[in-house]
Amino acid sequence: MNDSEMRKLLKNVLKPGRYTGGEYGQIIKDKKDIKARVAFCFPDTYEIGMSNLGVRLLYGSLNKADDVWCERVYAPWDDMEEGMRRLGVKLYAHESHDPIDEFDFVAFTLQYELCYTNVLNMLELGGIPLLAKDRDDSFPVIVGGGPCAYNAEPVADFFDVFSIGEGEEALPEMVRLYINMKDSGSYTKAAFLRELAKIPGFYVPSLYDVEYNEDGTVKEYRPKYDDVPKKIVKRIIKDMDKSYFPDKLVMPYIETVHDRVVLEVYRGCIRGCRFCQAGMIFRPVREKSPDVLNCQARTLYENTGYDEITLSSLSISDYSQLDKLTDDLLEWTDGAKVNLSLPSLRIDSFTKELMDKVTTVRTGGITFAPEAGTQRLRDTINKNVCEEDLMRACRTAFEAGKRSVKLYFMDGLPTETLEDIDGIADLAKKVAGEFFKVPDRARGKGPQVTISVSCFIPKPFTPFQWEAQDDLDTITEKQDHLMGLVRGDRHISYNWHDAKTSRIEAVFARGNRRLSAALLEAHKMGMKFDSWDEHFSYDNWMEAFEKAGIDPAFYANRRYGEDEVLPWDIIDIGVTKAFFLREKKKAYEAATTPSCREQCSGCGANRLGGERSCCPCLSE
Amino acid sequence: MLPMPVRIKFTQKGIMQFISHLDVDRTMKTVMVRAKIPVHYTEGFNPHPKLVFGLPLSIGVESECEYMDFKVDAEMTYEEITDKLNAALPDQMRVVEAYEPKLSLSYIAFTEYKVFCAEDTDLSPLEKEEIIVSKRQKKGGYKDTDIKPMIHSYSRCEGGFTLVLSASPDAYLRPEYVLGVLGLDDCEVTRTRVFRKNRIGEPIDFR
């Protein structure tokens, strides 16, 4: 595309800065040096995609090789899509402005289920047939990865291969295999995929036959050839200190969601909340050293000019050297007028000292996630925090002059009753009451406690993977019940998630390959950007399911059998099914499991290895 | 003497025509850090780097002459500032020169644009006594306005024509209004020069 075409295209769009490329820090290469080109697609808007740490890491690690050029692609918003279709412009990559069907690989990161319709729309805008079986060797290899790839079955028919686990090492290996086969003249897509399947961490769905039982459950996954692995073991980076880390970033012109340096402190999580997929799939815990982190933070600050650094991980206060890291950072960040922020603080680790160090906590609101309203239910989900922890944390915040606290909860959790919902309201009221017990509290208006309640979604690779999601009526009843309890309390405000969105997420989270038919129908109906309220339509989804002969309740609201073959059984994340079953049983007994640092629970992830981890017997 | 006042003249080409003024401002703040130029901060409760821009630039217009003023808390040469900024700027923004400002940027009274179009484009609509367009107001909303007094002059040149438009704070005319009158919405436009007023109100070069 040339400048004049670009002008025509961008003249009437709302935010042209989403589509221009040309940012400082983008990587431009000379096409004549390049043997493989990768279009790395984020199936949502530029502002969201540019904020994603995984994209930043993979963009850099793929571009390390001189003969590989990885570029960025984002989903165009309505106004842009309309212009592209009208002017016949194909979806293009930001660096070269070349259409994506000219690339060797088109890779999608699958961050949430509701992006699937965007994936299909982007393929179509790129002039690429949607179904893998309809694409001959002239089309790019379509690759998927990210958290949803752990159960990619609903989109398996559209992809050639999935990268399972962490991709910083795996994706460059994949591209290298491709270049070698091209160089030696042995490349056909089929031969390449067959070879790729032998590299750990690559799942080629077309190499497996799936059989179903009469009741619609999966009977068996059978590799089509003997040299295709029966299970795909996820890849991990063993030593996070030595893992690839970008020394510069692409700097967006327009404001993005996380427009700052994001410093990944460690991977994995020592907790083991039974609803949480991230806490399981990223095991084992692997920390970075504080010195390495401090050095990376400094480099990135100097090379980006950002005035904020976020320390990121699933539960930042569980980092074993948080004090040293924050002290080291503060030695230079204050002078450089750089703010430190921590996104996820646990209730039981919230202290005055930590609060004083962190700008966003100092100046902004405070958020805690008790997740459930009663101790019984918090024990069931293994949240391992108690009411006293919460009250102490809130007191600390109020003593420091805060008046507003936000509390995250979930409803529809397994074993939940209306008593647990009552507990949410009680807890909020107690927190508000705590405010008035603080002698040097903020004067003027009273406390503001916001309770934000999302819906439980049973996720693959969790102890709750077999559980049913509450049906819509039950969730609505619980939401109304809670509303009745807090309505009229001027110190409490209540937000809840749309249960319909959560239901669609649940369908795809635990879906099998049959769901691809529903996605095709949804795509034909013009559905996209389903994670955006202005686009999401539950009725359209129901229509798509009906046309495809899919019963959403079979996936979302059914209790899966413990000996049922699960669609994601073909993936091995290190953590064993036996562990999930043990945890499920303990959940029903409201028995907790200590964190990895206190005692190994034998989840199985330690067999993957990993440095600076708290797992025992890693050498085994 | 510190802080040292600096004016830079810079270009915005290619994709930079699609980046809003506000986003250029944000970009410049990070550029200063990357370039390791210690910009003087504002005093007060919420200190921030003080960057003062010349004129806003419309979306879809390239420029050879944007201006920005700031102060620096260190002894540096203007050449050093130019080089450091160019190493930290996106490719399609370049600093042409850095120097000590003599006149405030608010003296800018006219700007010249080059419009790339057919050389025989009919410019006669600009000869009318009155040119009424629906013009956006500073306070919001639109109002029918006669833009004729804000069009200082125009002349044909190789590859199109040039326009000199009023750019004073109380009468700033965006080139797209004139292009709209001529039916040239899709044309390439570049801001080429800026002027201040001489004693009789005529444009002379601004620096």
Spatial separation of the C-alpha atoms in residues A222 and A202, rounded to whole Å: 16
Nearest residue, CB atoms, A305 vs list B17, B32, B92: B32
The pLDDT of B73-88, averaged and rounded, is: 96
Question: For B39, which DSSP code?
Answer: B
The pLDDT of A101-117, averaged and rounded, is: 97
Verify whether the Cβ–Cβ distance A22 to B92 is below 8 Å: yes
Lowest mean pLDDT of A316-330, A344-358, B21-35, name the range.
A344-358
The pLDDT of A597-616, averaged and rounded, is: 89
The pLDDT of A136-153, averaged and rounded, is: 97
The pLDDT of A578-586, averaged and rounded, is: 97
Spatial separation of the C-alpha atoms in residues B26 and A252, rounded to whole Å: 10
Mean pLDDT of chain B: 92
- Answer yes or no: is pLDDT of A316 > 60: yes
- What is the band of A444 on the pLDDT scale with cuts at 50, 70, 90? confident
Residue among A20, A248, A333, A334 with most chain B CBs within 10 A, to mutate: A20
The pLDDT of A419-441, averaged and rounded, is: 93
- Answer yes or no: is pLDDT of B189 > 70: yes
- Answer yes or no: is pLDDT of B1 > 90: no
- The pLDDT, as a whole number, for residue B201 is 83
Verify whether the Cβ–Cβ distance B30 to A251 is below 8 Å: yes
Neighbours of B29 (CB within 10 A): 15
- Answer yes or no: is pLDDT of A618 > 60: no
Identify which of A483, A485, A548, A538 has the alpha carbon closest to the alpha carbon of residue A514.
A548
Residue among A251, A309, A339 with most chain B CBs within 10 A, to mutate: A251
Helices (H) and strands (E) in chain A, counts: 21, 19
- What is the band of A359 on the pLDDT scale with cuts at 50, 70, 90? low
Contact status of A4 with chain B (Cβ, < 8 Å): yes
Pairing status of strand A261-264 against strand A232-233: unpaired
ipTM beyond cut 0.95 = no
Q: Domains of chain A (ranges plus CATH)?
A: 3-233 (3.40.50.280), 260-359+590-620 (3.30.750.210)
The pLDDT of A314-337, averaged and rounded, is: 92
Q: Could you tell me which residues are beta bridge partners of residue A319?
A: none
Mean pLDDT of chain A: 94
Tokens of A469: 């999601």
* Alpha-carbon distances of B177 from A136, A139, A448, rounded to whole Å: 51, 46, 50
- Answer yes or no: is pLDDT of A620 > 60: no
Q: Are A58 and A127 in contact (CB under 8 A)?
A: no
The pLDDT of A313-331, averaged and rounded, is: 92
Q: Are A295 and A326 in contact (CB under 8 A)?
A: no
From chain A residues 330-369, the ones with a CB under 8 A of any chain B CB are 337
- Answer yes or no: is pLDDT of A7 > 90: no
The pLDDT of B70-95, averaged and rounded, is: 96
Pairing status of strand B151-157 against strand B160-168: antiparallel
Residue among B10, B16, B18, B42 with most chain A CBs within 10 A, to mutate: B18
What predicted TM-score, i.e. pTM, was given to this entire model? Answer: 0.94
Rounded to 5°, angle at Cα A62 from A316 and A144? 75
The pLDDT of A522-551, averaged and rounded, is: 96
The pLDDT of A142-170, averaged and rounded, is: 97
pLDDT over 70, % of chain A? 98
- Answer yes or no: is pLDDT of A253 > 70: yes
* Alpha-carbon distances of A271 from A239, A267, A514, A596, rounded to whole Å: 21, 12, 34, 7
Distance of CA A494 to the CA centre of its chain: 25
State the DSSP H helix or E strand holding residue A475, giving kind and residue range, or none if neither.
Answer: helix A472-486
Question: For B113, which DSSP code?
Answer: E
